[in-house]
Structure 1
């Protein structure tokens, strides 16, 4: 389960920010998780809850925003958000497309108490 190694790296980033800003504790962590990132949000939540004990984020809430798949069609010259996890254009059905969203795994924000 690679979510544990992802959360371990996340806590390294969190602790760096805590030290940089002289924070007492972390109140909230916001992540953006793309549907194509290969990360399971519920496993990420479980790993976060496991790793936060004994850290500055022990009382923090984790908020996960899911990034939908975004596909640009070069034939239609339009970008679409899709529920289906494929690169087909939902308008013309073509494959002359490019994936432009849904792969990210980003730390969007931290709420710190200083």
Structure 2
């Protein structure tokens, strides 16, 4: 389960920010996880709870935002919503799509004390 290693990396970022921003506790973490990122959000939630035990983020609320994936269609020159990486363009049926969003995995917000 690679979500555990992702959670360990997130905790590392939180610890680094605690030093540079001078806070001692994380109360809430808001992550943006795109549907094309390859991350299972429930596994991420579980991993976050496990990895943060006994740390500055112990007991922190984890909010996950899951934005819609989008792609640029080369033939019809439109930005379209997609559900999966190899979906056809909903406008023209072409498979010549360039993903423009949906692969994100980033920390959007932190509430700290």
Which TM-score band applies after superposition, normalised by the shorter structure? over 0.9
Q: Root-mean-square deviation (CA), in Å?
A: 1.3
Tell me, yes or no, if the aligned pair for 2:86 and 2:95 is still in contact at 8 Å: no
Q: How does 1:1-80 map to 2 (within 5 A)?
A: 1-80=1-80
Relative to total residues, which structure has the larger strand share, 1 or 2? 1
Map of 2:102 onto structure 1: 102
> Which runs of 5 or more residues in structure 2 are unaligned?
none
Q: Give aligned pairs, total.
A: 113
Give the stretch that moved more between structures: 59-68 or 35-44: 59-68
Extract structure 1 runs of 4+ deviating beyond 6 A. Answer: none
> Which runs of 5 or more residues in structure 1 are unaligned?
none
Give the TM-score normalised by structure 2: 0.92
Q: In structure 2, the residue corresponding to 1:103 is in which secondary structure?
A: coil
Tell me, yes or no, if the aligned pair for 1:87 and 1:98 is still in contact at 8 Å: no
Q: Quick one: distance in 1 between partners of 2:85 and 2:107?
A: 23
Q: In structure 1, the residue corresponding to 2:8 is in which secondary structure?
A: helix
Give the TM-score normalised by structure 1: 0.92
